[in-house]
Structures are given as structure tokens and as C-alpha cells.
Amino acid sequence: MTKVMVYSTSTCPWCTRVRDYLNSKNIAFEHIDVSSDREKAEEMVRKSGQQGVPVLDIDGEIIVGFDQAKIDKLLGL
Amino acid sequence: MILNLDKNKKTVSDNYDAVIIGGGPAGLTAAIYLGRARIKTLVIEEMIPGGQAATTVRLENYPGFPEGIGGAELGSLMEKQAKNFGADIIYDNVIDVDFKNEEKIIKLNKREIRSKIVIIASGAKPRKMHVPGAEEFEGKGISYCATCDGPLFRDKNIAIIGGGNSAIEEAIFLLRFVKSIIIVQDLPKLTAEKILEERLIKHKNVKLTFNNKILSINGEKEIKSISVEKTNSKKKMDIPAEGIFIYIGYIPNTDYLKGHIELDKFNYVKTNENLETNIKGVFAAGDVCKKTLRQVATAVGDGAIAAFMATKYLENEGG
Ligand SMILES: Cc1cc2nc3c(=O)[nH]c(=O)nc-3n(C[C@H](O)[C@H](O)[C@H](O)COP(=O)(O)OP(=O)(O)OC[C@H]3O[C@@H](n4cnc5c(N)ncnc54)[C@H](O)[C@@H]3O)c2cc1C
């Protein structure tokens, strides 16, 4: 099964949008709140080279921001 | 925040009496008024309800909330209120419009919606900085949204570029996370509300510097400094910073309207005092309009006026 991880902060609107979108498509994902977890925050920066949220990890493929076309493609939606 | 997980499951029809582009404070207020007038209304929003207001942690100057209210919370309350009165809301992106005929066409990624009237309430977004380094470091140490990315700058020495309300509000928020802040302003003083300034300068780890023209943002893998030229003495200097938040104003979300409606030279929608545009049956409200003060309180007022005028128009003409 495809493993989906969403790195986000609790107050970021585009993070909410990503999570809402995945929920609406019934995609299970691991939600990682990088505002409270410093190690995970570093992991995210390492993986994506980005200091911004949201970041998605879909089976090791990294998507920065809410990029619906790319999400759809990787998840076959 | 209250999340409506069924957001995208909603089936919407392709014909409406009113379509509102943008679900920020202006658009959602218009939806409340149109819903109460029993007009078949659709709001199209690409992000989340509340728009720019949802990108700030707390609003303190919107009446009715003496302790302040969370921006995202206010957005979802407005959304709920609009839905209570029957408005449909979908989450999608308007990419083009056709206003040539009496029936207006609104084009989304995968479908088209037809409507008798349209209220443009697509607001504004942060103005990007265009100096060497600014693009390269965007998302890699430069952010335009403190609410989103603030926690990733824990214990860093950061700079904020700008000196208006947003810059100072967000600086105060960022003080929860960062080690120190330097406010880099181009003018000789801050333009933010006095109450915000007072609150900011109480903090010992805040410095202010004025009369700076930004020349470049420097670093290799990470940001190291900002090069500036003093606008008064023409001296050049470097301001050290490990992260930068930029609040240098806004630009309207009107790309999809170009060639379809009259815009001013900064691309804001031109309206008369009744918020009518140059196209019959198309109204505009909130930050997207040419106006003097862009706040939630004024966006909400615009939303009510635009909806009222749209209702009258439907009664008289479109019927
Ligand atoms: C950091 C920050 C702090 C602020 N603090 C305050 C404050 O303390 N008090 C205050 O009163 N005001 C504050 N403001 C200003 C306030 O948020 C705005 O004036 C207000 O949100 C404007 O409302 P609006 O509905 O006109 O536009 P917006 O809030 O910009 O909403 C427009 C909506 O349209 C959507 N949209 C845009 N283009 C499209 C498209 N093509 N298709 C579909 N949807 C689209 C956007 O996603 C957005 O949700 C702040 C703004 C910022 C950025």
C-alpha cells in the first residue's frame, strides 16, 4: 500500500487543505505536526530541502505545497 | 479548527443564480446575505474558508471578539453561517471566466459553472520580493507566512522585512519561537498601528532598522545576511539573519480576470460605490477592489453591499 506522510503545522491553511483533500479521497495518511516535533521538523527539511509546509511524502516522492495534479498522479486518482 | 471532511464530496449543479469567487470574509458575507435572500448561491474557494484572515493567528480589531479570534476559526464560523442559509461551497480553483453574455461562465479545472450574477471576492496575496537571492531562498529560509512556517524557525535570529500591520503582528507572533528579530523597514518609521508598535518594542530581543533599501539576500546553503543600502546616507551594509519573513504589501488575485473586466493599473478591480464593475451583473467585494483600507471589517461591509446590489439586479433584470 502507498505510504503517505503529511508534514504540517497546526495553523497553516494549505496544510489543512492538503489533509482535507486526502480525507475527501479516503486516503489514509500519517500526519506529522512539525510545530511540536523538532526531530521530525529536521527530517522534513532534510527530505525536502524546504523550510516551509506542507510537505508530502508519497512512497518517498516529495511534494512541496498543495499540488493537486501531482498528488493525483502519484496516488492514481 | 473544525474540519468538514465532506467538502469535496458535495455534488453541485452547473447552474446558479449567483456565483461568488473566493471564500474569504468578503465572499462568505456575500453568501450569507444571498442565502437569506433565497438566491441559489455557490462559493468557489481554492484554499480554505477565511482567506488571508485564515493565515493570521489572531485578529484583534474585528468587532465582537474583545479577546480576539483565531483567523482560521473566524473563517470556519463564517463558512458555517453561509451554509446555514443555504449557500453551496466547493473547493476548486477558478482559472478563467467569460462575461461576454448575460449568462456568465466561470471555468474551473475540470468543469464550467453558469450563473446570472458573479461576485468577485478573490482577495489578495503577499507581494513577492524581487532582489537577488529572494527567489532562490524562498521556502529555504524565506517565508511569506509566519503562521504556516513560524515553528520551523525555532531559536533562530531572523529578520522581518516590512513595517506595516502584518509585519508587526506577525513579528509579535514569531517571538514565541525565535531567538531574536530585526525589523528591516524601508521608510523612516513603522506604519503599523501604534498599539502593535508599543507591544513589539517591549521585547528586549527585538531591534528596528529604518531607511533600508534591500539589495540582496545572501548565503550559500542557508541564509546568512541581507545587504541593504541606507536610503538617506547611501551607505551599504549587511544585516545578519538566519531566516527572513517578508511583509511588503499585497497584490490582487485577478490574473484570471485579465481582459474580461476593468482593472486599475495595479490590477485591482475597479468598481463604483455600489461595488458594480464595468460588466452588468458582475460585482466585486473586499481586498480585490481598488480601495483605501483592506481589513476584515471592510471586506465584510463590501460583501454585504455587493450581495444587496446583486439581489436588486436579479429582481430587476435577470429575474
Ligand atoms: C498576515 C496577515 C494578517 C492580517 N491581520 C489582519 C487583522 O489583524 N485585522 C484585519 O482586519 N485584517 C487583517 N488582515 C487583512 C485581512 O485578512 C484581509 O483584509 C481580508 O481577509 C480580506 O478579505 P477578502 O475576502 O476580501 O479576501 P481574502 O481574505 O484574500 O480571500 C479571498 C479568497 O479567494 C480565494 N481565491 C483567490 N483566487 C481564487 C481563484 N482563482 N479561485 C478560487 N478561489 C480563489 C483565496 O484562496 C482566498 O481564500 C491580515 C492579512 C494578513 C495576510
Q: What DSSP string describes chain B?
A: ----TTGGG----SEEEEEEE--SHHHHHHHHHHHHTT--EEEEESS-TTGGGGGSSEESSSTT-TT-EEHHHHHHHHHHHHHHTT-EEEE--EEEEE-SSSSEEEEESS-EEEEEEEEE---EEEPPP-STTTTTTBTTTEES-HHHHGGGGTT-EEEEE--SHHHHHHHHHHTTT-SEEEEE-SSSS--S-HHHHHHHHT-TTEEEE-SEEEEEEEESSSEEEEEEEETTT--EEEEE-SEEEE---EEES-GGGTTTS-B-TTSPBP--TT-B-SSTTEEE-GGGBS-S--SHHHHHHHHHHHHHHHHHHIIIII-
Judge if B20 and B65 occupy the same domain.
yes
Instruction: State the average pLDDT over residues B214-219.
Output: 98
Judge if B136 and B241 occupy the same domain.
yes
Chunk chain A into consecutive blocks of 10 residues (it has 77) and report each block's average pLDDT, rounded to whole numbers.
91 92 95 91 91 94 93 93
Ligand 1: residue whose CA is nearest its atom 13: B295
Q: What angle do CA A49, B127, B217 make, to 5 degrees?
A: 50
Domain that holds residue B207: 128-246
Residue B96 annotated among the catalytic residues of the structure = no
Percent of chain B past pLDDT 90, that is, above it, reads 93
Q: What is the pLDDT of residue B42?
A: 98
Specify the number of domains making up chain A: 1
**Could you say which of B246, B269, B293 is where a domain stops?**
B246
Nearest CB among B3, B140, B150 relative to A20 is that of B3
pLDDT class of B1 with cuts at 50, 70, 90 = very low
Percent of chain B past pLDDT 70, that is, above it, reads 96
What is the domain-level CATH number for residue A67?
Answer: 3.40.30.10
pLDDT in tens, B258-273: 999 999 999 999 999 9
Query: Inter-chain contact A51–B54, Cβ cutoff 8 Å?
Result: no
Say what the ipTM of the complex is.
Answer: 0.86
B39 part of a folded domain: yes
Judge if B193 and B261 occupy the same domain.
no
Judge if B226 and B282 occupy the same domain.
no
Judge if B262 and B233 occupy the same domain.
no
pLDDT at residue B3 tops 90: no
Judge if B117 and B81 occupy the same domain.
yes
Judge if B168 and B266 occupy the same domain.
no
Within 13 Å, how many C-alpha atoms sit on residue B57's CB side? Answer: 17
pLDDT at residue B6 tops 60: no
Give the gap in angstroms from C-alpha B134 to the nearest C-alpha of chain A: 14
* pLDDT averaged over every residue in chain B: 94
Judge if B105 and B28 occupy the same domain.
yes
Cell of B259: 481582459
pLDDT class of B11 with cuts at 50, 70, 90 = low
Give the gap in angstroms from C-alpha A34 to the nearest C-alpha of chain B: 7
A10 vs B176, more confident: B176
Identity at B205, one-letter amino acid code: N
pLDDT at residue B318 tops 60: no
**Could you say which of B229, B246, B263 is where a domain stops?**
B246
pLDDT at residue B103 tops 60: yes
Nearest ligand 1 atom to the CA of B49 is 49
CA B312, CA B246: separation in Å to the nearest integer? 42
What is the domain-level CATH number for residue B43?
Answer: 3.50.50.60
Q: How far is CA B184 from CA B154, B239, B243, B278, in A?
A: 20, 9, 13, 40
Specify the number of domains making up chain B: 2
B221 part of a folded domain: yes
B74 part of a folded domain: yes
B86 part of a folded domain: yes
pLDDT at residue B9 tops 50: no
Q: Number of A:B CB contacts under 8 A?
A: 84
The lowest-confidence range among A26-30, B140-144, B292-296, B314-318 is B314-318
Judge if B53 and B93 occupy the same domain.
yes
pTM for this entry: 0.93
Nearest ligand 1 atom to the CA of B95 is 41
Domain that holds residue A61: 4-75
Q: How far is the CA of B126 from the centre of ligand 1 (A)?
A: 10
C-alpha dihedral (B278, B281, B286, B291), degrees to nearest 10? 20
Judge if B29 and B105 occupy the same domain.
yes
Cβ-Cβ contacts under 8 Å for B126 (sequence gap 6 or more): B144, B145, B246, B247, B248, B249, B250, B251
CA B60, CA B319: separation in Å to the nearest integer? 41
B298 part of a folded domain: yes
Cell of A21: 483533500
pLDDT at residue B75 tops 90: yes
Q: What is the pLDDT of residue B5?
A: 47
Nearest CB among A11, A17, A19 relative to B57 is that of A11
Judge if B234 and B97 occupy the same domain.
no
CA B19, CA B118: separation in Å to the nearest integer? 5
Cell of B269: 478591480
B120 part of a folded domain: yes
pLDDT in tens, B237-256: 999 999 999 999 999 999 99
Judge if B235 and B288 occupy the same domain.
no
Residue B289 annotated among the catalytic residues of the structure = no
